[in-house]
Every structure is written in structure tokens, then in C-alpha cells.
Structure 1
Amino acid sequence: MTPTRKRRLVLVALILLAVGIATVLTILALQQNMTYLYTPSEIIAGKVPADARIRIGGMVKENSVERGQSLTVGFVVTDGDGDMRVEYEGILPDLFREKQSVIATGSMQGEKFVATEVLAKHDENYIPRDVAEAMENAHRKHDVPESADKPTP
């Protein structure tokens, strides 16, 4: 092998190594910053990793908003199959109200969800696509009888 070929081979190997390292670092950084969206019924079913930062999506249940001292607010998010208590300290969006689509970011602390951010949409007919799909999947799993999973002879 000539010295020129050796240099090219080493250069190509170094470039591939650098690209591999950059890819691994990018994937690790993205995984640390990801927050997954769950419905209340998925959280109740235990599909949420412990101490993970997640998003909960659904509708604010009617007559569930409780305002505490200063900026503390508690409310229930529902997907029709399950209800989850959410506590938030801060200023809620102007568009936040009961029977309204909401997404809250935070983590589970015991049986309640403690939110660090709450987002609401202005149109009461709007449900974010992620929330709508998750709620539809939860309903589908809830409504399917056990015999439907087994093939008929």
C-alpha cells in the first residue's frame, strides 16, 4: 500500500469516526430533551416512566378548577376514560377554562401531576392532533372486548 493510500484511508476513517461521534452525541442530547405526551388513562395504567418529564393532554373537567392561595391552581384533566389531578403554580393562559383542551408539561408526584407549563387552545372544538390520537387509541383499547383479540376458528 502506498503512503498516499494510507493517508486517504486514515483520513476517511477519521471522518467516519467524527460523524459517528457527532451522531451519538446528537441522539443523546435529543433523548434528554424529549417530553412524551400521555393521556390520563395511560398514566393511570402505569405507562409512564418514574420521575420522567412528560406532557399530559386532554380536556379540563367541568367544575374541577380550584384556585388556591396566590397563583396555585388545581384542576382535573380527563380523556373520557380516566381523570388526572393537575396542580400548577403560575399564571394560566387567558384561554384556559373548563371543558377546554389543554396540554400540561411536568412530572408525576404521587397520585397527582405537578405542571411547570400549561397550554390551552382558544377554540372549544379544537383538540391537538396528538391528544386526539392518544384519546382515540385509549378509547379503542378500552372498548375492545377480550374475545376480539383471539382469532375465531
Structure 2
Amino acid sequence: MKGLKKKRRIQIIALAAVALVLSTALIGYAMRDGINFFIAPSQIAERAPGPDEVFRIGGLVEPGTLVRGQGETVTFSVTDGGASIPVAYTGVLPDLFNEGEGMVGTGRLVEGVFQAREILARHDETYMPKEVIDALKEQGIYKEPGST
């Protein structure tokens, strides 16, 4: 009887370990597309990611580059002061999206053009994503809100 309890306990521990490994693998597999790295335009100019790599780009919408095409396609350039990357987006832009304003886009770089599948714009006059602020500070063009 004592050996049966010990054997049953070992089986339960082994089953729990297999379940833990399996659940960890499934979580990792599910998150493979959910983890997007932020890359500034200057970093893209130095080392462009492959066309299969999904990432986030952020910076300021370069003034004079916003072109609304036929249908829902919009093109513009995003800059961090050091480099400028052309962006193409098909869809409805956020209401606060405008030239000279901060934005973050998620997508892929295809033949030198960032094909965005999602565009986010700042939601008030003081908010800008931390990654965008850091990239603009590195280029020396970010000014704190309220400073002149």
C-alpha cells in the first residue's frame, strides 16, 4: 500500500510538470506576434529590419508629407530628426493625427516603406509615448511641454 501511494504521488508530480511545460510553450507560441519592438527612424536607416519582422515605429509626422490618396490609403513620413521613413497606411487615421504631431505605428518595412497596420496618435497636447520621447531626445529635437 505504501509503494502505491508513492507511485501515485510521482505520477501526479510528473503530470503537473508536463502540464506546466506544455502551458508555457502554448503561451510563448500565442505571444509570438504580440511582442513588437520599438525602432526609431534613425535605427531603421542604420539597420533595416527584414520584411517579415513586425515592429513599432514612432516619431513626428514630417510636415508637408501627409498625402491622402484615393480611398483609404494615406502616405506620410515619420521622423525623429535624424532620419525620415516613408509610411503607407490603409484605414481610418485617428482624429488627432496631424503633421508635426507624435505617432506610433505597428507594421513591417517592405521595400523601404513602412506598411502600417495600426496607427496611434497622441491623445492630448502633453502625451507622447515614452519610446518616441526617448528617440527624439537622442536626436536633440524634443522640447518639454510648456518650454519655449
Same fold (TM over 0.5): yes
Separation in structure 2 between the aligned mates of residue 76 and residue 124 of structure 1, nearest angstrom: 21
TM-score by structure 2 length?
Answer: 0.83
> Does 48-57 or 13-22 show the bigger shift?
48-57
Residue 74 (structure 2) aligns with? 73
Q: Given that residues 62 and 77 in structure 2 are in contact (C-alpha distance below 8 angstroms), is that contact kept between their aligned partners in structure 1?
A: yes
Gaps of 5+ in 2: 141-148
Separation in structure 2 between the aligned mates of residue 48 and residue 108 of structure 1, nearest angstrom: 7
Separation in structure 1 between the aligned mates of residue 125 and residue 92 of structure 2, nearest angstrom: 20
- State the percentage of identical aligned residues: 37
Secondary structure, in 3 states, of the residue corresponding to 1:2? Answer: helix
Question: May I ask how many residue pairs the two structures share in their alignment?
Answer: 139
Is 1:4 aligned with 2:5? yes
Map 1:35-74 to 2 at 5 A.
35-46=36-47, 48-74=49-75
Q: Which amino acid aligns with 1:60?
A: V
Separation in structure 1 between the aligned mates of residue 21 and residue 135 of structure 2, nearest angstrom: 35
Secondary structure, in 3 states, of the residue corresponding to 2:81? Answer: coil
RMSD: 1.9
TM-score by structure 1 length?
Answer: 0.81
Q: Deviations over 1:69-114 (max 9, x none)?
A: 1222111100111110001122211111111000111111101111
Separation in structure 2 between the aligned mates of residue 59 and residue 139 of structure 1, nearest angstrom: 12
